[in-house]
Amino acid sequence: MWAQVSSIGLKGMEGYRLRVEVSTCVGADSFKIVGLPDAAVKEAKERIRAALGSLGYVISGQRIIINLSPPDQKKMGSLFDLSMAIALLISLHELEGAVAEDTGFIGALSLDGSLQPVEGMLAAVLAAKKVGLKRLYLPFDEKLPPLDVVGVELIFAHSLQDVIGHLSGQWIPPHFLKPNAVEQMDERGDYPDFQQIIGHSYAKFALEVAAAGGHHVLMTGPPGCGKSLLAWSLPTILPALTRKAQLEVMSLYQLAHISYLSTAVPPFRNPHHSASGVSIIGGGQYPKPGEISLAHHGVLFLDEIGEFSKKTLDMLRQPLENGDITISRTHATITYPASFIMLAAMNPCPCGYAGSNSHYCICSARQVLAYQNRISGPLRDRFDIQLSLKSVDLGIAGGDGRRLEESSKMVRKRVEAARQRQYKRFGREITNGRVPYDELIKASPLTPEQQSMIQQLLYQKDWSNRTQIKIIRLARTISDLSDERGSQISDESISEAIKLNSVSGTARGQNH
């Protein structure tokens, strides 16, 4: 007898319809799984045999072949145990009634027939609608956030017996996930508030622009000037993650086998400069998400970026441009999302005090140049904002100690308002730093005078075309933060964008 049911296969975060085909006939005991299964999938036959036996089903004296289609995709993990067990029961006429083609099954089986959550289950749930499923059976897991996939009925079960009973027309009590509503959790107390940072008003403005438009930032300055403190404060001014973004982030952490608390705070990743390229980009024999994917919808902070290997840094160029990373290995080619704000910090020279007014630099010109060249020109060109920081005189900046700095919450309100203007302008949730340039310039055309000014500076300063586009993107974001009406980019915003993109321009006004 032949039977077929549906499940969901995963290639990274991308899901595809997987068809579980089972053929059974009377004969010598045989149980084979084909369709490029890995070791975990092959071992499912023993879990299925034991689980069915514990429920009183006998499958001895049967020649069983299970095909996982499409056969050219590598199948990994225990995500398909439940679907194979259900298809086998239908093939053996132990389960009466047809299972609709748009009904899917995911979950691992224990030997006693209970269902267990598996790696990638959340990503599979998010992919259910895309692959055409209208009903999905899956294990109950109280660690999952509340799920509500529009157009897909999710049926949580504790055991294989629950699923069999429900398919046979029996009612099983619904399992509601604990009300740990992710959108209610927006605790940012682990990060320093803008109020705690004395001075650096221009740097704060630059980070506000970066948060509003999704722009990358490179900070250069002597040790102890506040680079790391500013970087760690950036998550406090970023808008809260949407429900969809939260689930995407949780799926990536689940695939990387890293625990992640349900929260609306954007992720902040801070890998050490000794981290390998695989840990930063992602990879392995069976590719897992790296730091750039774990920073999706959040911030990737590379402190002492000059100390990272040149090979690792150059591998960042493609994801910074495209917002995703494709990892090719012998067993699989997988694409993970990697849309993040990159925030990097470095010293101006090996000793750290080049250009300092308070310390003597002991580095030669050649050493300074060699240190700066640790970041390649193409990578440096991908930073929209370049800040040159100086140490703050706390006595002058702090005054009598009663000066009230602007809080992160106040700044975040402006950032959220600027983001909403961008979403409305482009018709989707995308920022000025990510939207295709032709779409940006169509929505916010420059005046002939502005075009002439930028072209003139392009030739004078020998800018690349990418630099020209970055300035227009920055100017659009600055105009959005200024609450300027209409689609027009102001001349003042263009002038400010040029200063933000130039190291010499950002060195001014650090303490005002």
Q: Residue 155's closest CA among 118, 212, 104, 229?
A: 104
CA of residue 23 relative to chain centroid, distance:
41
Cβ(474)–Cβ(488) under 8 Å? Answer: no
Cβ(503)–Cβ(220) under 8 Å? Answer: yes
**Pair 359, 231 in one domain:** yes
What burial class does residue 131 get, using C-beta atoms within 10 Å of its C-beta: 0-12 exposed, 13-18 middle, 19+ buried? buried
Cβ(83)–Cβ(118) under 8 Å? Answer: no
Could you list the residue range(s) of the whole structural domain that residue 14 is in?
Answer: 2-167
Q: What's the structural domain count of the chain? A: 2
Q: How far is CA 242 from CA 239, 341, 443, in A?
A: 9, 17, 25
Domain annotation covers residue 348: yes
- Please state the pTM of the whole predicted model: 0.85
**Pair 162, 229 in one domain:** no
d(CA 383, CA 381): 6
DSSP letter at 373 equals: T
**Pair 220, 158 in one domain:** no
d(CA 356, CA 53): 76
Q: Residue 348's closest CA among 368, 374, 370, 373?
A: 368
**Pair 159, 208 in one domain:** no
Helix (H) or strand (E) holding 474: helix 465-481
CATH number reported for the structural domain that contains residue 386 in this entry: 3.40.50.300
d(CA 175, CA 405): 48
d(CA 86, CA 107): 11
Q: Which residues contact 219 (CB under 8 A, 6 or more apart)?
A: 203, 227, 230, 231, 343, 344, 345, 346, 387, 389
How many other C-beta atoms lie within 10 A of the C-beta of residue 373?
12
Q: 3-state class of 328 per DSSP?
A: strand
Q: How far is CA 345 from CA 222, 228, 300, in A?
A: 10, 7, 11
Q: How many CA atoms lie within 13 A of 287 on its CB side?
A: 27
Q: How many CA atoms lie within 13 A of 293 on its CB side?
A: 28
Domain end call among 167, 185, 202: 167
Domain annotation covers residue 465: no
Domain annotation covers residue 112: yes
DSSP collapsed to 3 states, 247-291 = HHHHHHHHHCCCCCCCCCCCCEECCCCCCCHHHHHEECCCCEECH
**Pair 200, 147 in one domain:** no
Domain annotation covers residue 336: yes
d(CA 5, CA 282): 33
Q: 3-state class of 4 per DSSP?
A: strand
Q: How far is CA 223 from CA 168, 193, 231, 346, 409, in A?
A: 69, 21, 14, 9, 28
Q: What is the pLDDT along the chain (512 residues), one digit of tens a residue?
A: 889 999 999 988 889 999 999 999 988 889 999 999 989 999 999 999 999 999 999 888 889 999 999 998 888 889 999 999 999 999 998 987 778 899 999 999 999 999 999 888 889 998 998 999 999 999 988 777 777 778 889 999 999 999 999 998 887 776 655 444 444 455 666 889 998 888 888 999 999 999 999 999 999 999 888 899 999 999 999 999 988 898 899 999 988 888 877 678 999 999 999 999 999 999 887 788 999 999 999 999 999 999 999 999 999 998 998 899 988 877 678 889 999 999 999 999 999 888 777 788 899 989 999 998 899 888 998 999 999 988 876 655 554 444 457 899 999 999 999 999 999 999 999 999 999 999 999 988 888 999 888 888 877 877 778 888 999 999 999 999 987 666 788 889 999 999 998 754 333 334 43
Domain annotation covers residue 104: yes
Domain annotation covers residue 433: no
Per DSSP, helices labelled H in 23-171 are 39-42, 44-54, 81-91, 121-127, 160-167
How high is the pLDDT of residue 417?
Answer: 94
**Pair 230, 336 in one domain:** yes
**Pair 95, 227 in one domain:** no
